[in-house]
Structure 1
């Protein structure tokens, strides 16, 4: 039977590799100030916002939309 610590080391190493491989991309936030007058607000009363960026490289036809 394998040592349980070996599994922990493998998981830790894989997690570290995934963390190092992850690449971030800054996508600007667009606030919808005009929506506030129509009653469209977040739970804290702030205007709604979204992040929107076109894909690139092999994902050129893909879009990333993050509603905040």
Structure 2
């Protein structure tokens, strides 16, 4: 049986491997709107597993963060 129906979101930001706080900032923004996340860091990208029914909302949060970072 399925324990956690999730959607995979891959963050294509190339951050330094020794950067501190990037995933913490992302997961804090998702937590602020009540979205749980399982984060997996990889060499070139980070991956987020979010609840399937909240995936579109999570993407909206991430897009907003990206837009704010570009300003």
Q: Same fold (TM over 0.5)?
A: no
Q: If the length of structure 2 is used for normalisation, what is the TM-score?
A: 0.29
Q: If the length of structure 1 is used for normalisation, what is the TM-score?
A: 0.30
Structure ranking higher on relative contact order (CA contacts 8 Å, 6+ apart)? 2
